[in-house]
Homo-oligomer: A and B are copies of this chain.
């Protein structure tokens, strides 16, 4: 490939920084704290600082920044709020970090058509607060209050995907700025179209390596008439997972169905001040009409009973449900709190649902055999689960054990027909796994990258090795 090696940096970024400052004034920063904050995400991955951070306010400014970056041969890294988990925002080769935080307007809500156009820096909670009075919501919920541009870029999903799909199914169109600074629109407002190549889906999940997403058009949903959440414990993790498998195979349209193992429950009880049993547990949510929810609840209860499931503890009031899901979302921080000074190393395999119990049980055994401290939790309705390995970042031997464990986990998932990443993406943490999973098709992906970004300036070192 005709792209530069990993040690490339802009030899002298000052002329570019000067030009950006002339254009943007104080919306262009080289403050060391700001550079540092834009050099890493929430994961254990090391920091790679950009040379400069800019804060554009509209698509035209992004295009102008891209043209300047091109002129100076500089890498460009789009930045949302930095909640990714595979080092996606790290400036591996320096360059310009484009912070989308000021592009946070909800541009247009079409309530009658259940669609919305937002700037890429709008966060999912901001959008849902904005929509609530209209009886609408956007369901994709990766836990973190990520930006919708970032969620599109990583093909995010999360707890509601079992019912509502992922960003792949819920992005209707995009405004993108190409590496040479042109503005393009993909997709549209029609619910379906057979007009040409699906550029929207090409950019969803491309992790900022093909261009900058500046606007996202999303599909919305009416807030269901009834929403109820329940927590129910099981004697073994296999019982909990087998309940999930039966629920999914029975096509019961649960809105969320999440697993937390006994170690995660202990951590969450402590961190989120809850009093649930410290056993493998399912968090389940039901959406629909009153009658539909009642029917779903009965079916799920009967299946859970077959696997020895305990009492269903209900959260129906909005504030109770919010507290419950906040605890679920805080599971990652809860885990880390169990071992002060540790960093969380989140794994992310996803397997066909019929293999999920095997995969999780084998993974639990592996954790114990290799002496790591790790919790298992996940979006089990999709076949997707995480282990949060608590690693001491200053202990190379432990880091190596975690790496080897993750390696075995990915091989286990691939052998079962699964994927190395259900929702976190490749970033720079999973490049080797992408090759292992997709083989020769990665060559086709690289060919597309080379064509759309021939100078390899868009988030270099992510998805592919530079």
Contacts and interface: CB of A to CB of B under 8 A. Distances in A.
Contact of A202 (B202, B295, B384): B202
Interface of A: 110, 112-115, 154-157, 161, 165-166, 168-169, 178, 182-186, 188-199, 201-202, 204-206, 221-222, 245, 249-251, 289, 291-292, 295, 348, 350-354, 382-384, 417-426, 430, 433-434, 437-442, 444-445, 447-452, 463
Contacts of A292: 291-292, 295
Contact of A354 (B113, B184, B192, B383): B113
A269 to B, nearest CB: 29
Given A115-B352, A195-B434, A448-B197, A189 B417 contact: yes
Name the residue in A113, A197, A222, A382 with the highest tally of chain B Cβ atoms < 10 Å from its Cβ. Answer: A197
Copies in the complex: 2
A289 B295 CA distance: 9
Contact of A188 (B196, B424, B437): B437
B205 A198 contact: yes
Contacts of A433: 195
A204 B194 CA distance: 9
Contacts of A438: 185-186, 195-196
A417 B113 CA distance: 11
A465 B448 CA distance: 21
A155 to B, nearest CB: 4
Given A196-B442, A198-B168, A190 B113 contact: no
B353 A113 contact: yes
Contact of A192 (B112, B168, B191): B168
15 contacts: A112-B245, A113-B353, A155-B194, A157-B194, A168-B198, A190-B418, A191-B384, A192-B422, A194-B423, A195-B419, A197-B205, A197-B445, A201-B201, A448-B451, A451-B451
Contacts of A449: 197
Nearest to A166: B192
A232 to B, nearest CB: 22
B422 A193 contact: yes
Nearest to A384: B192
B444 A199 contact: yes
A245 to B, nearest CB: 8
Contacts of A251: 221-222
A166 B194 CA distance: 10
B382 A192 contact: yes
Contacts of A115: 352
Contacts of A199: 441, 444-445
Nearest to A420: B195
Contacts of A194: 154-157, 205, 348, 419, 421-426
B112 A353 contact: yes
A343 to B, nearest CB: 21
Nearest to A450: B451
Given A166-B192, A192-B166, A194-B425, A447 B440 contact: no
Contact of A196 (B193, B198, B205, B221): B205
B463 A196 contact: yes
B189 A418 contact: yes
A384 B190 CA distance: 9
Contact of A204 (B198, B205, B437, B452): B198
Given A112-B353, A191-B383, 13 more contacts: A113-B354, A157-B192, A161-B192, A168-B192, A188-B417, A190-B417, A193-B421, A195-B430, A197-B448, A198-B201, A198-B204, A292-B292, A444-B452
